[in-house]
Structure formats: structure tokens, C-alpha cells
Amino acid sequence: MAPDIRHTLDELSALVDIPKRTIRFYVENGVVDRPRGVKKGAYYTQKHVEQLLSIKKWQQAGLSLERIKSILDDQVGESPLPPPLKRQPGDVDVWSHIYVQDGVELLIEPKRSGLSPDQVNRIFQALQTMLFSDTLTSEEQQ
């Protein structure tokens, strides 16, 4: 899509599959840039489309609107993961603690890692397979 293409609010809403009312809310709260032009001449650009698609992506990843706004404000380039939050005194972190075998444990902070439960499970399975196959190999050598 060329950057000089202009969209009405109706077109933008249909393009990103977000209700007009929600787009207006985002604009009003400074999460999305204001449209260019005024009143009936107002229009949206490719930048608005990208902002709204980023918001959708981060919401589906479970981020709050406040956090999304800070990401969009700080975002210089396209990043697959949000930058980690700066830790503050009194912050509480919730970690997944996975026991693999005696002496081997896996600690994952779900929000910062950006990993889905399925990805965590695959990591666990791969680690277990690797450790199990190494155990068999060393036992076979004895």
C-alpha cells in the first residue's frame, strides 16, 4: 500500500477490522495519531493502518493499552517483541518454573519472553529429549 493513499474512517475500520468507535477512542487517548485534515475532510494514512495493526497484535499478545501506548511512543523500528519493562522497586514478577530432571530446571518469565504456552512446551520437550538421548549415549559407552 502506498503511503499517500487516504482512507476515510469507514475504510480504515473495515481495513483493520476495528470498530470506528474504538478507533476514535484510540485517537482521543493518544494511542493513535489524529487524522489529517479536519471534519469531513479528515483522512487516515498508512501510518494509521500500521499503528492500529500493531495495537491489535500487542492486544492479542495480552498487553494492556497503557503498555501498548508506551511501546508505540518508544518504537523507532519494527520489533517482533515489545521492549522489556523497566523494573521498579516493589514490582512482582510471575515466573514459570519447570522441573526437567534432577539438577535441571527451566525458569521463564512469560510476559518478557513473549513465548506462547505451546512454545514453552516445545522447549521443554526438546530439552528433555536432548538430555535423555545424552544419558542413553553415556550409558551405552560404559
Domains and CATH numbers, the chain: 9-74 (1.10.1660.10), 96-141 (no CATH)
38 band by pLDDT with thresholds 50, 70 and 90: confident
How far is 26 from 49, CA to CA, in rounded Å? 12
- Tell me the C-alpha to C-alpha distance, in Å, between residue 131 and each of 101, 106, 121: 9, 13, 15
Q: Is the pLDDT of residue 21 over 50?
A: yes
pLDDT the model gives residue 18: 94
3-state secondary structure the chain: CCCCCCECHHHHHHHHCCCHHHHHHHHHCCCCCCCECCHHHCEECHHHHHHHHHHHHHHHCCCCHHHHHHHHHHCCCCCCCCCCCCCCCCCCCCCEEEEEECCEEEEECHHHHCCCHHHHHHHHHHHHHHHHHHHHHHHHHC
Select, from the ranges 16-30, 63-77, 91-105, the one with the highest average predicted confidence (pLDDT).
Answer: 16-30
At residue 98, what are phi and psi to the nearest 5 degrees?
A: -110, 120
- pTM, to two decimals: 0.53
